[in-house]
Structure 1
Amino acid sequence: MNDLSDNSGGLAADTIHRISRKLKALLPRKACAGHLPLTDRPQKHEEKMTMKNKLGLIAAGAAAMALFPAAASAKEGPYIGLSGGLVLPGDSNNSGAFDATVPATDDFGAIPADTPLGWNTEFDNGYAINGQIGYAFDNGFRVELEGSYTRYDVDRHSGLTVGGANIDGVDVAVLTRGAPAATNPTVGAVIADGRGRVSNFGLFGNVFYDINTGSSFKPYVGAGIGYQWADIQFRPSGVDVADDNDGGFAYQLMAGASFALSDNAEIFGQYTWRDRTDTAEVPLNLLPATLGVETGQSIISAGVRVKFGR
């Protein structure tokens, strides 16, 4: 009986000891001095990486804001601008009439007063210089006063008609009434040597609307009316045919886009179609006649605006 009791007591003690060891294995180990528990390390590492990401995003955002200023709303206030560019003038179908009768000669009959005449003039590309003073509203609209100068040279003249008949192949004496016929070049040969130029001075009142894209880039459209003076010089083959000026009402249509460099400065590119409501009427020096010259032109320009708004 004593042997049985001793064996039972030993088995119980051994069982309790093994259960105790298993329970200790299941419990978390204590942190060593100066070290975090193993289960805490991933969480702290993730927090550290998240903070780095946030700092990186903030730095990138600050850099982007510095490079591309936001355009949440239009800035109200006055501005000035300066631009220049390329002028693409349209051909001019010049038309007019004789103001007085041209007397007859041995070679040619008289040309009665009011007889129509005309010819076509082709121009070379030219240049434009423009200055603007305006005011921008915070709703996207702008009003502007613009001064403009454009100039382009004559390329050639052709197709001269008198009374509806083309006289390019006729001796130029039909117009000059000078040397006898058959001793001079033809009308077509003389006017084909296109010399001369057209200079336009314009003053316009413009209205624009800037389309807010929420960024530094803003397209816009506009229109303007004003007054334009045309200074016309036609000197084919060195012959002083016309050299005078005339003013008239004009209009223009514009479309372009601007890009903000800062809160107070922007660059812009613009296309403009400009024309007068009538032709520029100039007297001819060679003949007793008045000629109407068309001055329609396309202008492709680029420039800068400086704002003074709050």
Structure 2
Amino acid sequence: MIRTPVFAFVISASICTSPAMAQDDGAYVELAGGITAANDSDYDSQTDPDIEGTIEWNSGFDLAAAAGYDFGTFRVEGEIALKEHSFDRVVSGTDVLESGPDLVLDLTTWSFMANALADFGDEDGIQGFVGGGVGLASTEIDIRDTRSGNNDRDNDTDSGFAWQLLAGVSAPVSDSVAVGLKYRYFNQGDISYIISDDDDFNTDFSSHSILAFARLNF
């Protein structure tokens, strides 16, 4: 797991010691990684209205790579990202329906996003940015059940529209490299899974991520 506080320390040191000015008006690539916290996912069954509950997720990781073009105060980019979470427990109201370690439930999300970002601040110092993106996400749920001597495994994937909001800060460490931190809110709704017995389970997925990144300008 990438430790965001370490990246924050490196970024702070770079800001204090590097009077460099990162380039604008050109192509760039960016790598990012950090931690992500998923919101609880409510679910229900299409075949049995009595089956419903909430999945509570553990914190996970978020990795991303992007390529784009910087127009000066405005950037556009294409981004691919991977998020992974394991579940903490499944609840219905105040009742705990399921928890580990004999039941494992993992969530893996690949997203392919087009982002638009607005930059503000000094080119030779700390810059801020805000923006958002839309695109396609594919989320897989993987269930492994070893309760009562079982060795069952089920998984399914659903793809659909996704959107996200982005905000962060960056600072140059050379004429072509900038580093920073950013926040990402990600949302993929209307997810449907067929897990077993041909039953469709409906849910959604959203998360909050803190990412450290490095950007190389050409």
The answer to whether the superposition gives a TM-score over 0.5 is: yes
Q: 2:140 aligns with which of 201, 211, 231?
A: 231
**Residue 212 of structure 2 corresponds to residue 302 of structure 1:** yes
**Residue 53 of structure 2 corresponds to residue 141 of structure 1:** no
Of structures 1 and 2, the larger Rg is shown by 1
Secondary structure in structure 1 of the residue aligned to 2:121:
coil
| Structure 2: 5+ residue stretches without partners | 1-16
Letter in 2 for 1:209: A
CA RMSD of aligned residues (A): 2.4
Equivalent residue for 2:34? 85
Structure 1 residue 96: deviation in Å?
2.5
Letter in 1 for 2:215: R
Equivalent residue for 1:264? 176
Q: 2:91 aligns with which of 147, 155, 158?
A: 158
**Residue 206 of structure 2 corresponds to residue 273 of structure 1:** no
Structure 1 residue 279: deviation in Å?
2.5
Equivalent residue for 1:44? none
Structure 1 residue 263: deviation in Å?
1.2
Report the Cα distance in structure 2 between the residues aligned to 1:237 and 1:298, rounded to whole angstroms: 31
Equivalent residue for 1:254? 166
Equivalent residue for 1:69? 20
Secondary structure in structure 1 of the residue aligned to 2:46:
strand
The alignment covers a number of residue pairs equal to 198
Report the TM-score when normalising by structure 1.
Answer: 0.59
Equivalent residue for 2:10? none
Report the Cα distance in structure 1 between the residues aligned to 2:160 and 2:198, rounded to whole angstroms: 23
Structure 1 residue 137: deviation in Å?
0.5
Letter in 1 for 2:175: D
Greater helix proportion: 1
Distance verdict in 2 for CA 1:203–1:84, change over 3 Å: same
Structure 1 residue 241: deviation in Å?
7.3
Equivalent residue for 2:44? 95
Structure 1 residue 157: deviation in Å?
0.9
| Structure 1: 5+ residue stretches without partners | 1-65, 99-113, 161-165, 169-186
Deviations 1:158-216 (A, max 9, x none): 218xxxxx9x6xxxxxxxxxxxxxxxxxx93xx23352100000000000011023532
Q: Which structure is higher in RCO with an 8 Å CA cutoff and minimum separation 6?
A: 2
**Residue 107 of structure 2 corresponds to residue 198 of structure 1:** yes
Q: Is the 8 A contact 2:21 2:174 kept in 1?
A: no
Secondary structure in structure 2 of the residue aligned to 1:220:
strand
Equivalent residue for 2:60? 126
Secondary structure in structure 2 of the residue aligned to 1:215:
coil
Give the alignment of 1:168-183 within 5 angstroms: none
Greater strand proportion: 2
Distance verdict in 2 for CA 1:270–1:132, change over 3 Å: same
Report the TM-score when normalising by structure 2.
Answer: 0.83
